[in-house]
A and B are shown apart, each in its own frame.
Chain A
Amino acid sequence: MVDTVTPQPAARDRAAARPARSGPPPGARFRSLVRRYRLAPYLLLLPSIVAIALVLLWPVVQVTLYSFQNYGLPQTDGAAPVQWIGLANFTATFADPEFWLALRITVLFAVVAVSLTLLAGTLVGLLLHQLGRIMSVVVGTAALLAWATPPVSASVLFYWLFNPDGGLVDWSLARLPHWLVGSTDWSGFNWTTSGALPAYTVAVILVVWQSFPFIAVAVLAGLKTVPAELLEAARVDGATAWRGFWRITFPLLKPIFLVLLLLSVIWDFNVFTQTYLLTGGLGNRDEYNLSLYLYDKAFTFPPSYGLGGALALILTVILLIITVGYVRASVRQGALT
């Protein structure tokens, strides 16, 4: 403290002695403060901290508060007072069979979509690694296009492909032999309004199509780090490609796979855009996943921000548990150094 106070009178004296001239440059005091307290990193971080706190952290606090209140339209207007209602929003949520259906749909969708995405991505990554230069550019570019297609375009496009009225999929399925596609009459089959299973089948195909390229590119980058001599040596010793993959490649790429697995789980657990559009806005209650259920509770008239808040909290806690795994995996890879 003493150190900081002493230069001040001296500076003021000098400024008083030469009032006509500018004295010390206006930034000088500030700069010496920055240097003395090593403020530079904090100043550089300030804009990002403000933005993140206002748009990402403070809303989490607010939503947490709402989840213990009866916050709704009358409370936002000021027509009725905000009341603390304890865990009522949570008990109401857990008593709602629609919540459990939405949770089941969310978990099943994540399990299926993540497994298929990782499988398809890894296989394409392995293929890209084996292909010659030209072919790998061709396949890589095709994958890039699928990945680059905006989710809204992709969802609308898949809705059209699976449309009962003129859609290509129903037309093709109706022309395939029954032993292959079952005895359902596929012409005019409505994928998006016939319950959760058909709707989420389309969602899985869509999500896998959009996200396998990222996995493939990441796996390919990992494969390039595996020393070719190791695999060569294994081959000379008579190991099959299958054995070589499981005994050499997979263990070496395990950290990458772990991160990809966690990222995919987080993405697919959260999916909103695709399911919102494929199930036709908020039209079909029996096709809600957690995100749609939350959105419906919070924004369909009459809005209940309290119930929505409780659901947001539940969703965040589930994701936080997954995220802890992600952070630990990243830290173990030395991401903080």
Chain B
Amino acid sequence: MALTTPGRISFPNARSRARTARKTRRFGLNALGVLVALVTLFPIFWMVSTAFKPSQEIYSLTPHLLPSHPTLGNFSAVMSGQASGIGSVWLFFRNSLLVTLSTVVLASGISLLASIAVARFRFRFRASYLIMLLIVQMIPGQALIIALFLDFDHLNLLQSLPGLILVYAAQALPVSIWMLRNFVATVPRELEEAAAVDGAGSLRIFWRILFPLVAPGLIATSIFSFITAYNEFIVALTFLGQAHSDYTLPIYVTYFFTRGGAEWGPIMAASTLYTIPVVVFFLIVQRRMTSGLVAGAVKG
């Protein structure tokens, strides 16, 4: 070591300096990451924290970060229906679940058929159809709501869940078809042709070959229609009116909130219960969702 030339001695020094710089940089980045994560999570944390606080802590002059006397009182007030006066939160859970699942099934089925047409056939109005989807998906709900309200009033579908399901399924279609056609297009045609040569009918080819291979795409589009239906506000607000027993979760939370004399504990408990299913669902399907969304939204 002592025999090394001065030029060589400076070399490890420079390397260690570079290493320190890299470490500092990594530390800085991680610190920034922690900061971003904390700021992003804080509102959600505050919602959950408020939901567990007794009311004297919620309205105390110095806010507590965590409830010092955590209580389930807000949740039980929401579940018993005593807090909102229009029914237990489970009733609205049931409504939302019914609407959301029906929308997902209906929209997935219809868009699977349409995406097969678009991905597997060349026909005359194909490009016009695709452009129509792109344009239709941009029409704002507010622009349609007047005509939808009057039409569904005529059809006696206003204060009902089937009316909502119809509207939500149709609204989910453009993006679902647009996303799903990419997935159908990636299924190799040779597979289907080979099955046809072996004597399989079209239905059999569909169920045994196309369907299993497109299933990941169906999951991605289902997620999309799930969010559309579970979060939808303006149509439900307009259609459901005073039909309290048909309220979906967002309208229930809104009713609670706009009724006046807001009790923040029960409201935050209701919002927490409304938020948990989507959040859990997203955490489970996280990877698929990002790839599907990016494929759907960014590429097209």
Interface residues of A (CB under 8 A from B): 38, 40-42, 44-45, 47-49, 51-52, 54-60, 62-63, 66, 76, 124, 127, 130-132, 135-136, 138-146, 148-154, 156-161, 163, 165-166, 168, 171, 209, 213-214, 217-218, 221-222, 256, 259-260, 263, 266, 270, 272-273, 276-277, 280-281, 291, 294-295, 298-299, 305, 308-309, 312-313, 315-316, 319-320, 322-323, 326-327, 330, 333, 335-336
Contacts and interface: CB of A to CB of B under 8 A. Distances in A.
A272 B234 contact: yes
Given A59-B146, A146-B41, A149-B279, 14 more contacts: A41-B121, A42-B123, A48-B110, A66-B146, A131-B30, A142-B40, A143-B40, A152-B249, A153-B272, A209-B43, A259-B297, A305-B146, A323-B138, A327-B131
B143 interface: yes
Interface hub of B120, B174, B233 (most chain A Cβ within 10 A): B233
Given A55-B166, A217-B294, A259-B298, A277 B117 contact: no
B227 to A, nearest CB: 8
Given A51-B110, A52-B173, A266-B138, A151 B231 contact: yes
Given A41-B123, A273-B234, A256 B298 contact: yes
Given A139-B36, A166-B264, A319-B139, A54 B170 contact: yes
Nearest to A303: B146
Interface hub of B36, B136, B274, B281 (most chain A Cβ within 10 A): B36
Given A45-B114, A47-B110, A62-B151, A145 B40 contact: yes
A320 B138 contact: yes
22 contacts: A55-B171, A56-B139, A56-B174, A59-B146, A66-B146, A124-B36, A135-B33, A138-B37, A143-B36, A144-B282, A151-B233, A152-B249, A153-B275, A156-B253, A157-B44, A157-B271, A214-B297, A218-B298, A270-B141, A276-B234, A298-B145, A298-B146
Contacts of B90: none
A51 B107 CA distance: 10
B131 A44 contact: no
Contacts of B114: 44-45, 47-48
B177 A48 contact: yes
Q: Specify the main secondary structure of chain A where it touches its partner.
A: helix
B45 to A, nearest CB: 10
A141 B40 CA distance: 10
B117 A44 contact: yes
B32 interface: yes
Given A131-B29, A142-B40, A151-B233, A51 B138 contact: no
Given A41-B123, A320-B138, A214 B293 contact: yes
Contacts of B109: 47
A4 to B, nearest CB: 19
A204 B193 CA distance: 53
Contacts of A54: 170
B166 to A, nearest CB: 7
B169 interface: yes
Interface of B: 26, 29-30, 32-34, 36-38, 40-41, 43-44, 46-47, 50, 58-60, 62-63, 109-111, 113-114, 116-118, 120-121, 123, 126-127, 129-136, 138-151, 153, 166-167, 169-171, 173-174, 177, 230-231, 233-234, 237-238, 249-250, 253-254, 257-258, 264, 267-268, 271-272, 274-275, 278-279, 281-283, 286, 290-291, 293-294, 297-300
Contacts of B26: 132
Contacts of B230: 150
Q: Specify the main secondary structure of chain B where it touches its partner.
A: helix
B142 A326 contact: no
A165 B263 CA distance: 11
Interface hub of A45, A171, A266 (most chain B Cβ within 10 A): A45
A41 to B, nearest CB: 4
Contact of B43 (A63, A158, A166): A158
Nearest to B231: A150
A163 B110 CA distance: 44
A335 B234 CA distance: 30
Contact of B113 (A47, A130, A157, A263): A47
Nearest to B280: A148
Contacts of A319: 138-140
Given A47-B113, A281-B258, A209 B146 contact: no
Contacts of B46: 157, 160-161, 168
Given A48-B110, A48-B111, A60 B41 contact: no
Nearest to A150: B231
A25 to B, nearest CB: 12
A217 B140 contact: no
Interface hub of B113, B139, B234, B250 (most chain A Cβ within 10 A): B139
A127 B32 contact: yes
A48 B149 CA distance: 21
A152 B274 contact: yes
Contacts of B36: 124, 127, 139, 142-143
Contact of A60 (B37, B110, B139): B139
B134 A327 contact: yes
Contact of A272 (B41, B233, B297, B299): B233
Contact of B238 (A49, A151, A291, A299): A299
Contacts of A272: 141-142, 233-234
B277 to A, nearest CB: 10
A308 B300 CA distance: 32
A58 B147 CA distance: 9
A312 B47 CA distance: 35
A156 B267 contact: yes
